[in-house]
Chain A
Amino acid sequence: MARELRPGQRKYSPGSIAADAVLVGWFIFSLFPLVWMVLLSLKSRSEQISTYFAFTPTLENFGTVLSDEGTRLTSVNFTEALLTSVINCVGAVIVSLVIGIPAAYAAGRWKYRGSNDVMFTILSFRFAPELMVIVPLFIIYNQLGIFDTNVGMIWVLQLVTMPLIVWILRSYFQDMPAELEQAALLDGYSRKRAFLMVALPLVRPGIAASALLAFIFAWNNYVFPLILTGSRHTPVTVAVTRFLGGGGQAYYNLTAAAALIAALPPLLVALSIQRYLVRGLSFGAVKS
C-alpha cells in the first residue's frame, strides 16, 4: 500500500541515498580546511605542526594575537589592523554607495550614447586582475603621497566595491516600474525628490545586499594593501600573514587564531542585516 508522504517527508531510494552520501562527502571535504584552522588556532606552539587530532586545547593564541606579544612578533598591532580594515571597508562602501546609487539609477533608467560602454568599463575594474595595475598604482601612490594611508586604501578599494554596487543596483532599478516615478512627477515632485521619495526606499533591500557583498570583498582584499600600505595602516588581511614570517619563525597557530578573529566582522555585519538580505537576494525573482 502506497503511503502518502507528508510535506517535508522524502522517499528514500538507493539513488537518493547515494546522492546524499556524495553531498555529505563533499561537505566534509570543503569544510575541512575551516575545521583544521579552528583546531590549529587551539593548539599550543609545540603542537602546531603535529597532524594529530588529539592535543591539549588552549585559548592562549587569541590573547597572544591581540597582545603586545603579537605586536612584537609581527611589528603590526593586530587590534589597530582590525580598526584600519573597518575604516577602509566602511569608508569604501560608503563612498561607493554615495556615487554608485545615482550611477546605478541613471544606468538603469536611461539609455544614452555610450551608456553600455560606461557600464562595461565599470565592470572591467572587477575582472581585470589586480596585479595588472598594481605597479603603476604603486608609483602613482608614492608620487601623490597617499601610500600607506586610509584615503589611499579607500580610493583603491573602489575598484572592488563600485562595480559590485553599480551592477547589482542597476538591475534593481530596472526591475522597478518607471511609472512609479512618473506618477511622482505628475504629483508635483522634482526628479530628485521622486528619486529620493519613491525609488530609493524601494531598493533598500538591494542596497543592503550589495553593500554587504562589497564590504566582504573589500575586507578580503589582499593584494592592494600588501603593496600599497606600509606598517602604519596595515589592514587585517596583511596583518594575519605577518604571523607566518615574523622574525624568521612561522606561527601557524597564531595565524589561524588571527584569521578566525579577522573573519568575525563580516560575519557580524551579515547577521545584523540578514533580514534585508533575504528579501534583497530574492527581490526581482518574483513578479508581484
Chain B
Amino acid sequence: MATLTLSGLTARYDRTTALHGLDLEIADGEFFVLLGPSGAGKTTTLKCVAGLIDDVGGEVGIGGRSMTGVEPYERGVAMAFESYALYPQKTVEENLASPLRSGRLGSWTPAQQAERIKQVTTTLGIDHLLKRFPRELSNGQRQRTALGRVLVRPADVYLLDEPLSHLDAKLRAAMRAELTQLGEMSDTTTLYVTHDYQEALALGNRIGVLRDGKLVQVGTPEELWTEPADTFVARSLGQPEMNLLDATAVDGVAKTAGGVEVGVPAGVSGPVRIGIRPRDLTIGTVGAGGSADGADRLTIAGRVVLAERLGRAVELSVDAHGDRIIVVTTDQKVHEDDTVELSVERSAVHIFAAAEPGQDSERIGAAEPIRVAEVER
C-alpha cells in the first residue's frame, strides 16, 4: 500500500518520444484509470512505473521513495500484461507460484505457497485449472490467471494493462463487476489502463485521459463526463461520440449554419463549437421546424435521415436544416423521413472553442439561456 507519484515522466523509444512529461499523484488505495486510444502511451506509463523501460526521464515515486535506479522487483509493483505474459511451459499453478518461488519477494514454505494460490484461484474461479498449461485455457481463463499472478504476491501498487480487452463483451461486463468486488483491488493502489470509456467510468475513482503522451485531463468520472476539458475528452467518453456543431457567436448567441441557437458564456464571440451528447437528446414529434429556445431546454427540429435499430436503442441521424445530429433513443416508433423535435437540457450543451475539422479544442463552458427575449424567425 503506497502512494504513486509521477513527476515530469518522459519516455523514448529510439527516436520517438512516447511520453511528454507526465505529472500525476495517485493516493494510497486509489483505483486510477488511464484512458486513451492506442498509441497514447498508456502501456509505456505502466512499464515506466514498473521499471521495465530504459530510456526514462523524470521521476517515479512509490510510497514517497524515488524509484530511479531501483530494480523492477524491488519496487513493490505487480503487473498484469495486456498479452497476459504467462509462461507457456509452466502450468497455471507454476505460473502463480513463480513470484513466490523467486525468493526475492519474501519466502514462503510450499504449504504457504499452496494456500495463497488456493485462496487467489478460488476467488477468481480458476481453482479447477491449476494443472493446465496456458495454451489449454480460454482467453478469459488466461486473463484470470494473469490477474491471479498479480494478486498472489504482496505488492504496494497493482499495474493492470487492459486486463479485459481480449474478452468478449459478455465476459468483459461480468469481469468488470467482479474486479471491483475483489477485496485486494479495493485497498491496493491500482493503476489501470484501458481504451474502453465504460470500463474507465465504471471502475475508476479518478480517470486520466491520455493523448499522444500527454495527460489531457485528470478527474473523477463525474467531472470528466460533465465538464470535459476539450473535445478530445468529450469524444472519448460516450458511444456514439458527442455531436459537434460549428457555430458563430454574436452578441452572446451562437448560431449554427442550420439555425440552432444557444446562449454562450459572457465574453465569448466568433466561431465556436456546440457539443451535445447523443444520449442527452430526447425526442418528440412536433410539426414545426426551426429551433426554439425555451427556459431550460434547447429544442431542435429536424428530419430523420437514417434510423439504425440496435435492439433496445435506435440510433438516429437527424438533419436539422443542414446540421447533422446523431441521437440515441429508445423510442421504437421513429422511422426514416419522420420530422422530429429534439430537446436537450441546456446544462448538457457544451460550448467549445473553434478549430479546424479534425482538430481538438478546449471547452469554454455550458450553454446559457439566450438573454435576448425572443428570437425572430
- Decide whether A and B are members of one complex: yes
Residues of A participating in the B interface, judged by any CB pair closer than 8 Å: 111, 177, 179-180, 182-189, 193, 197-198, 201-202, 288
Chain B residue contacts of A198, Cβ below 8 A: 87
29 inter-chain pairs at a CB distance below 8 angstroms, sorted by A residue, are A179-B83, A182-B47, A182-B79, A182-B85, A183-B81, A183-B86, A183-B87, A183-B149, A184-B87, A185-B52, A185-B71, A185-B73, A186-B52, A186-B73, A186-B77, A186-B78, A186-B79, A187-B73, A187-B98, A188-B73, A188-B103, A188-B104, A188-B105, A189-B102, A193-B102, A198-B87, A201-B89, A202-B89, A288-B135
Residues of B within 8 A of A185 (CB): 52, 71-73
| B72 contact set on A, CB distance < 8 A | 182, 185-186
Whether, in the assembled complex, B99 has its beta carbon less than 8 Å from a beta carbon of chain A, the answer is yes
1/0 per position for B93-114, CB-CB distance to A under 8 A? 0000011001111000000000
| Cα separation A139 to B30 with both chains bound (whole Å) | 72
CB of B349 within 8 Å of the partner chain: no
Extra pairs beyond A179-B83, A186-B50 (18, CB < 8 Å): A177-B83, A179-B81, A180-B85, A182-B52, A183-B85, A183-B87, A183-B149, A184-B98, A185-B72, A186-B52, A186-B72, A186-B78, A187-B149, A187-B153, A188-B105, A189-B73, A189-B102, A189-B104
5 A-B pairs closest in CB distance: A188-B102, A188-B104, A183-B85, A187-B99, A179-B85
Q: Enumerate chain B residues within 8 angstroms of A188, measured Cβ to Cβ.
A: 73, 99, 102-105
A272 to B358 CA separation, bound complex (whole angstroms) = 62
Against A, the Cβ 8 Å flags (1 = close, 0 = not) of B127-145 are 0000000010000000000
A2 to B16, CA, bound (A): 59
Q: Does B374 contact A (CB under 8 A)?
A: no
For the A-B complex, the count of residue pairs with Cβ-Cβ distances under 8 Å equals 58
- Contact residues of B between 115 and 161, Cβ < 8 Å to A: 135, 149, 153
Cβ of B116 to closest chain A Cβ, rounded Å: 14
Taking Cβ atoms with an 8 Å cutoff, the residues of B that contact A are: 14, 47, 50, 52, 71-73, 77-79, 81, 83, 85-89, 98-99, 102-105, 135, 149, 153
With beta carbons under 8 angstroms apart, the residue of B77, B88, B105, B135 that contacts A202 is B88
Which chain A positions have C-beta within 8 A of B77?
186
Q: Which residue on chain B has the smallest CB distance to residue A189? A: B102
CA distance A256 to B83 in the complex (A): 55
**A183 neighbours in B (Cβ, 8 Å):** 79, 81, 85-87, 149
Instruction: Give CA–CA (A70, B88) in the complex, Å.
Output: 53
Distance of A237 Cα from B2 Cα, bound (Å): 68
A280 to chain B, nearest CB (A): 15
Decide: A182 and B81 in contact? CB cutoff 8 A. yes
Q: Which residues of A contact B50 (CB under 8 A)?
A: 182, 186
Whole-angstrom distance between the Cβ of B340 and the nearest chain A Cβ: 48
Min CB distance B201 to A, Å, is 28
**CA–CA, A182 and B104, complex, Å:** 15
- Shortest beta-carbon distance, A276 to chain B, in Å? 14
B113 to chain A, nearest CB (A): 13
Closest chain A residue to B82 by CB distance?
A179
Q: In this complex, which of B79, B88, B102, B149 has the most chain A Cβ atoms within 10 angstroms of its Cβ?
A: B102
Residues of A contacting B105 in the complex (Cβ-Cβ under 8 angstroms): 187-188
CA distance A188 to B153 in the complex (A): 11
